[in-house]
Homo-oligomer: A and B are copies of this chain.
Amino acid sequence: MLELHGHQLIGRGTSGESDDTFQAANPATGDLLPTVFHEASAAEIDRAMTLAAEAFVAFRQTSAEDRARFLEACADEVEALGGQLIETAMAETGHPEPRCVGERGRATGQARMFAQYVREGSWVDARIDLPQPERQPLPKPDVRSLMFPVGPVVVFGASNFPLAISVFGADTVSAFAAGCPVVVKAHPAHPATCELVGRAILAAAEKTGMPEGVFSMVQGRTNAVGVGLVQHPETTAAAFTGSLRGGRALYDAANARPAPIPFYAEMGSVNPIFVLPGALKERGEAISAGYIQSLTLGVGQFCTNPGLVLGLESDELSAFVEGAASGAKGAAPATMLHAGIHHAFVEGVNAMQHRSGLTLVGESGTPADPAKSEAACYVFETDADGLRNNPELFEEVFGPVSTVVKCPSPSDLEEFAAQLDGSLTASIHGTEEDLATYRGLIDILEKKVGRLIFNGFPTGIEVCHAMHHGGPYPATAHSYFTSIGTRCIQRFVRPLCFQGWPQSQLPEELRDDNPRGILRLVDGEYTRDAITG
């Protein structure tokens, strides 16, 4: 068992200069947890970022194999924390044990996936245009380029995935894979979990010979810590998963710098589900059961939680609503991540109950205990005019609450699809014929979302190469980039081009002999071959 100290992890040292301290609470009991954490001072932030900048010199020159081993060692060390990590995460988040164990598996699996991705190596997008010294009127130079790490990266731990999107989430892991040192802002709702994981990463860094400063972590519950990290001159990029309000404030801070940096924010979304007539006829009951399961997964605290369901008025849709109402009734209230989130959820549901045109059709049959920060599940119903009169329904309420909209005609579905803000996902339940019939609706949704799901639900994201977890604003701050899947390494690199550069001084990915056998674009052709003659 590691004894917690509540200090910043700065390079290989610890520091707790500030008298400003805080404790996390167990949301299931309201009790304060024992460890006292020190808010990071400006000087501590500066030391962490300065060490990260120093570490970048050596870290970016590590081989892909070195970085792969570092990532695997991190996964091993996180696993070696054993039951202490699981128990700590449970106490700080209200998550049940199987969820914590599963999420740890996702985090370590993700790290090992990135280890393989950098070992294979083609992700650097190596491109070579060979010279033509005799070309007229001007010789063609030798031009080669590849993706190169940007520099120190700041990662904001998310509250809703304390293991898989926090200290050792996809942000940290993909930054390491790229060759970027990381400074994590721990989440104040689960600081002990963060400390444990942070210390595991440091142990892995030491075992695999990584430079001091490759990883640091600061604690804090004030905006000053976040803004201080984002505006530090050595910070070259930042990644964030959280609320629109918090994300936008930090995004604005990043852009207000003398030299702005990219602030990659994933800020949640409403994740609409469209239930089309053919599917409702075939299996309305199964869809309503799946919907409630998705809505209540993780107490409705997934980024991809489905907040809005749209369908065409019909007996089948009425039966679907009845099924959803009954599903909600059977859903047991459960503890949310922390009292603040619980409070916002209760307020959001109360506001909905007072909106005209909106009817509560289903809620958990057993009452939620506010002392345990418990959320009940709520399903509302409205019609097209109800949605038109309540545009707030297009905004996410974080937690297990959702609204079904009964629309009189297909044109309403298109109208509402066009009104959606950018969203991480949209899901369509339909037959293949439905999809063809509603092609106009799909065309609209393609412009609005990052992921389109057919006959499935948005929660429970597969971590893989093709996954995209992003979307037009406000789903994310920059829709080119994802925060899950191997493409997320792209946030922490930029092209670096070498013109006329001698073989001996080129990165090995760009050398003629292609020693790692990666796939390259050579004079416009993709090949793993070496360049000869």
Contact = CB atoms under 8 A, between A and B. Distances in A.
Interface of A: 56-57, 61, 116, 120, 122, 125, 127-129, 138, 140-141, 143-145, 148, 150-151, 236, 251-252, 255, 259-262, 421-422, 432, 435-436, 439, 442-443, 446-447, 449-456, 460, 462, 464-468, 470, 472-474, 477-480, 482, 487, 490, 493-502, 504-505, 519, 521, 523-524, 526
B497 A490 contact: no
Contacts of A56: 447
Nearest to A501: B454
A466 B128 contact: yes
Contact of A454 (B61, B255, B451, B499): B499
A494 B450 contact: yes
This protein's copies in its complex: 2
A465 B129 contact: yes
Contact of A468 (B451, B497, B519): B497
A473 B257 CA distance: 11
Nearest to A120: B524
B456 A499 contact: yes
Given A140-B462, A462-B129, A499-B451, A145 B468 contact: yes
Contact of A443 (B57, B141, B259): B57
A442 B339 CA distance: 52
Contacts of A449: 496
25 contacts: A120-B524, A125-B487, A129-B464, A138-B460, A141-B462, A144-B466, A145-B467, A145-B468, A148-B446, A259-B422, A261-B473, A432-B502, A432-B504, A435-B504, A442-B505, A450-B495, A454-B501, A455-B500, A462-B499, A465-B521, A466-B521, A470-B494, A480-B480, A480-B490, A480-B493
A451 B501 contact: no
A360 B422 CA distance: 56
Contact of A453 (B151, B474, B499): B499
